[in-house]
Structure 1
Amino acid sequence: MTASRTDTVHTPPPATARPGRAVTLLGAATALACLAFAAVNIAFESTGDFLDGTDYAAYADGFTVMNWLVVALKLAGAATALLSIHPRPRPRAVPAVALALWGAFATLGVYALGSLTQAITMAATDTDRIDAAGTAYVLGFLLAATGFGILAAAWSRRHHLNRRLALLGALAAPAVLGTVLLAAPAILAALGMLPAA
């Protein structure tokens, strides 16, 4: 007795066993970059003097909360990058990793493009405000976004995933950026832990 037509139509092709060497190296490098970015925030927090002598010294607790929120996001990014090069992930985790990868790509991409637009505007009006540190900051986010984009595409191709997951993941960008740039500061300002905008 032959298999029915529906049995064969809905059977997905098997995933490739392992990511390629280039993707593996990129995943490791992206994870290390996220950890390095997190280390910068941790260093700021450990010194405890990055607000000393400024008008914001009274809001140190609020800036601490924001700092650790950013650290958590960067550590989540590092974990996502490492998961993207796992040779044999659990089947149930595959869609979740895809969503996280596309979400990281979209979030970093939108933020980097916004920062780049701001830098171009500043360069057109006041070139003295553009320095090496600011340029490296924007380039770092552009490279991180590119890395997550490649990892997301490779993961989706390797596991034969539907493009709708990429779209759903991209919807994370406004949610994450809205939380970090708008909602969290607004809540902290309402509590008196940050200056009102």
Structure 2
Amino acid sequence: MALCCIGFAVVNIVFELTDRFADGPYAEYSTGIAVMNWLVVGLKAVGAAVALLSVASRPRFLPPVFLGVLVWGAFAMLAVYALGSVVQAIGMASGLAGSADQIDLAGVAYVLFFLMVAAGFGVLAISYSRRFRLRKGVVVLGALGAPVALGVILLAVPMLLAALGVMPAP
């Protein structure tokens, strides 16, 4: 899972090093996209650290309960994001939102990748919880943090960037 996180972070870094969004339909959003790309790189690095720490034979750096919240939060956030993408694809395929023509192989691969990573973090979370006999409250707290984290990343940060004039308002 750590390698998945780092490998996927490299994609964002390549986007930034090659100015992927400097031209074309997203050019006016390029500064905001750059901020979001670097934020996501940081989150993916944290995800890699959480994955590695969760498989360590004994707790290091973080108390087991705190790391338990993080690993369950990572699982829940990825699962909510992936399931949201599946619902969006179903909406497109059924014609409720967009059209089935918008679904392509790259989009399907993207959703499958996130489902796989979510499942991987789910395995880490269950394993970690069993090893350290974490209470159900740790799971609940991690799971409740997922929608909050997604809301901040997908809604609050872009709104803040628009308010600061870093990218156009929607």
Structure 2 length-normalised TM: 0.93
Identity of aligned residues (%): 56
CA distance in 2, matches of 1:113, 1:148: 15
Q: What is the aligned partner in structure 2 of residue 151 from structure 1?
A: 124
User: Which one of the candidate residues 9, 13, 36 is aligned to 1:66?
Assistant: 36
Q: Residues of 2 paired with 1:67 and 1:91: CA distance?
A: 27
Question: Does the Cα contact within 8 Å between 2:76 and 2:118 map onto a contact in 1?
Answer: yes
* Count of paired positions: 167
Task: Give the AA of the match of 2:157.
Answer: A
Matched, 1:31 2:2: yes
Task: Give 1:188's aligned residue.
Answer: 161
The runs of 4+ residues in structure 1 deviating greater than 6 Å are none
C-alpha distance in 1, partners of 2:62/2:39? Answer: 27
- The answer for the alignment partner of 1:140 in structure 2 is 113
Q: Secondary structure at the match of 1:50?
A: coil
Aligned to 2:7, what secondary structure does the other structure show? helix
**1:160 counterpart = 2:133:** yes
In the alignment, structure 1 segments of 5+ residues that lack a partner are 1-29
Cα distance between partner residues in 1 of 2:60 and 2:42: 24
Query: 2:53, 2:60 within 8 Å by CA — same for their partners in 1?
Result: no
Q: What are the equivalent positions in structure 2 for 1:50-129 lying under 5 Å apart?
A: 50-54=21-25, 56-90=26-60, 93-125=63-95, 126-129=99-102
Deviation at 1:92, TM superposition (A): 5.5
Report the alpha carbon displacement of residue 195 of structure 1 after superposing the two structures with TM: 1.9
Deviations 1:30-78 (A, max 9, x none): 1111111111111111101334022x31332211111111111111111
Distance in 1 between the 2:61 and 2:154 partners?
34
State the one-letter code of the partner of 1:123.
A
Counterpart-to-counterpart distance in 1, 2:45 and 2:61: 23
RMSD: 1.4
- Scaled by the length of structure 1, the TM-score of the pair is 0.81
Determine the C-alpha separation between the residues in 2 that align with 1:187 and 1:121.
Answer: 29
Task: State the structure with more CA Rg.
Answer: 1
Structure 2: stretches of 5+ with no match in the other structure = none
Q: Which residue of structure 1 aligns with residue 20 of structure 2? A: 49
For residue 127 of structure 1, report the CA deviation from its aligned partner: 2.2
